Amino acid sequence: MIAPSDEAGVAEAVRAAHAAREPLSIEGRGTKRAMLRPVQAARTLSTRGLTGITLYRPTELAISARAGTPIPEIEAALAEHNQQLIAEPPELRALFGVEEAATLGGMVGANLSGPRRITWGAMRDHVLGIRAVNGAGEVFRSGGRVLKNVTGLDLCKLLTGAHGTLGVLTEITLKVLPRAESSGSLVLRVADIAAGVRALSAALGTPYGVSGAALLPEGHGAMQGCLAIARIEDFAESVTYRLDRLRTELAAQGEAALLGREASEALWRDIRDAAPLNPAPEEAVWRLSLAPSRAPAACAELRAVFDARLLLDWGGGLVWVAGPATEAAHGAVMQAAAGGSFTLFRGPDALRAAVPVLPAEPLPLAAIGARVKSVLDPAGILNPGRLRA
């Protein structure tokens, strides 16, 4: 493994690999190695040596850090000023069975967002600026450190979620926001997934600024049944008022209970990290993104094919699935996601190498994509095979 301690070192390593036409596996701390397809590369370039927060201006709502900075370090710095990462990225150590914390670069490279995505936007919405090394070993920047910037093509968005295939992120600036003074949740016991998605749509259709809307088909902990959960994060007075309004307006949707701040925070941490799925080590995990009203049918289709354990977030638009790591199960996921999107989020190498781990692109777009890839990675050395065969 090559783990340079600065950006110049990353550029040098990539230049050498480019000259030698030698593929590189790009990673932070490798916590998401089991995500998408296994990379075909003998050598690994890690950004774990690029650490540290380089700029943090709480009143400007922006933080910059080197790509290898562990997420907990960033969250701790933000917490000192009562601020937070807006997209609420999941903590996936348990899901991926790893010890180390994820890095900022990995989180952005995978565009991972948690429950707050539904109202406050995805990771990609908050990437204000990047520094990166392309596949020829050249350093380039896009965006900056200000909240509004439309200068030139937005390569921040292109590299966010590209899983290291278009460049090695070396430094990232994110928009951040104050942490809400308080929070709480309304829990509704609903008949089934369809009723649950209807309840969540109703909740998101109120004027109360619901900041999390999830569905636990098999309950959670002591709470039994199919549960629809809506969260409010706001000033304390507003949390009380808004939960009360939500409870009244959603009274017809199911039997209701309110969770105070502590219980609510614990529950949403579990939802964020997909903890209720609790997959066995040999099982696979998928994420589907759909229009919420499509989710009930998709869930039914999956359950008809395999013993799918489900967790829905984003008002029903995000479906987490755990099940057997078989091509049959994967085929069912691909079918169920028609009209939307899916990722094989975790699985054994054999399955990941055998199936498309993301939806295919329309041909004209795939052709453009291949040209864009060869602009940013002319020798095709960055994470070959990670996204597609």
Partner 1 sequence: MISLPEPKPEILARRASILADLARLLPADAVIGEDIRLRPYETDGLSAYRQMPLAVVLPRTTQEVAEVLRYCHANGIRVVPRGAGTSLSGGALPLADAVVIGLMRMNRIREINFEDRYAVVEAGVTNIGITKAVEGEGFFYAPDPSSQLACMIGGNVMMNSGGAHCLKYGVTANNLLGVTFVTIEGEVVEIGGTHLDAAGYDWLGLITGSEGQLGLVTEVTVRILRGPEGARAMLAAFDSVEVAGQAVDAIIGAGVIPVALEFMDKPCIHACEAFAHAGYPLDAEAMLIIEVEGSVAEQDMLLGRIRDICAQFKPISMKLAESAEQSLAIWKGRKGAFGAVGRISPDYLCMDGTIPTGELPFVLKRIGELSTQYGLGVANVFHAGDGNLHPLIMFDANDAESFRKAEAFGADILKLCVEVGGCLTGEHGVGVEKRDLMTSQFTARELDLQRDIKSAFDPGWLLNTAKVFPLEGNARIAA
Binding to partner 1 (CB under 8 A): which residues in 360-379? 361-362, 364-365, 368-369, 371-372, 375-376
Exactly one of 162, 190, 227, 322 binds partner 1 (CB under 8 A); that residue is 162
Q: Could you give the C-alpha distances from 26 to 157, 261, 352, 383, in angstroms and in order?
A: 18, 39, 18, 6
Exactly one of 9, 49, 144, 225 binds partner 1 (CB under 8 A); that residue is 144
By CB under 8 A, residue 140 contacts partner 1? yes
Which range of residues in 96-104, 110-118, 251-259, 328-336 is near partner 1 by CB under 8 A?
110-118
Exactly one of 52, 72, 97, 178 binds partner 1 (CB under 8 A); that residue is 178
Least spacing, CB of residue 48 vs partner 1, in Å: 25
Least spacing, CB of residue 249 vs partner 1, in Å: 12
For 333-349, the DSSP string reads HHHHTTTSEEEEEE--H
Exactly one of 20, 79, 291, 328 binds partner 1 (CB under 8 A); that residue is 291
Least spacing, CB of residue 131 vs partner 1, in Å: 11
User: Considering CB under 8 A, how many residues would be counted as binding partner 1?
Assistant: 81
Query: What span, in angstroms and rounded, lies between the C-alpha atoms of 383 and 29?
Result: 15
Least spacing, CB of residue 167 vs partner 1, in Å: 10
By CB under 8 A, residue 251 contacts partner 1? no
Query: What span, in angstroms and rounded, lies between the C-alpha atoms of 168 and 163?
Result: 9
Least spacing, CB of residue 219 vs partner 1, in Å: 25
By CB under 8 A, residue 20 contacts partner 1? no
Exactly one of 56, 268, 320, 342 binds partner 1 (CB under 8 A); that residue is 342
Exactly one of 5, 40, 335, 341 binds partner 1 (CB under 8 A); that residue is 341
157: left (phi over 0), alpha (psi -120 to 50) or beta: alpha
By CB under 8 A, residue 169 contacts partner 1? no
**E strand or H helix at 372:** helix 363-376
Q: Buried b vs exposed e over 41-74: b needs ≥16 C-beta within 10 Å? A: beeebbbbebbebeebeeeebbbbbbbbbbbebb
Exactly one of 2, 177, 194, 353 binds partner 1 (CB under 8 A); that residue is 177
Query: What span, in angstroms and rounded, lies between the C-alpha atoms of 349 and 326?
Result: 12
By CB under 8 A, residue 149 contacts partner 1? yes
Q: What does the longest C-alpha to C-alpha distance in the chain come to?
A: 66
List binders of partner 1 among 60-79 (CB under 8 A): 60-62
Apex 108 CA angle, 156 and 116, nearest 5: 105
Q: Which amino acid is at 112?
A: L
Quote the distance between the C-alpha of residue 211 and its chain's center: 16
**E strand or H helix at 243:** helix 236-249
DSSP letter (8 states) at residue 2: B
Q: Which amino acid is at 130?
A: I
How is residue 51 written in tokens?
């650490």
Query: What span, in angstroms and rounded, lies between the C-alpha atoms of 327 and 366?
Result: 24
Query: What span, in angstroms and rounded, lies between the C-alpha atoms of 333 and 140?
Result: 38
Least spacing, CB of residue 216 vs partner 1, in Å: 20
Which range of residues in 97-105, 147-155, 218-226, 247-255 is near partner 1 by CB under 8 A?
147-155
Exactly one of 9, 49, 58, 219 binds partner 1 (CB under 8 A); that residue is 58
List binders of partner 1 among 311-330 (CB under 8 A): 314, 317-318
Least spacing, CB of residue 343 vs partner 1, in Å: 5
Least spacing, CB of residue 236 vs partner 1, in Å: 10
List binders of partner 1 among 269-288 (CB under 8 A): none
Exactly one of 205, 221, 260, 331 binds partner 1 (CB under 8 A); that residue is 205
Which range of residues in 16-24, 25-33, 174-182, 302-310 is near partner 1 by CB under 8 A?
174-182
**E strand or H helix at 177:** strand 168-178
By CB under 8 A, residue 261 contacts partner 1? no
Query: What span, in angstroms and rounded, lies between the C-alpha atoms of 108 and 110?
Result: 5
- Residue nearer to partner 1 on the CB measure, 46 or 321: 321
By CB under 8 A, residue 147 contacts partner 1? yes
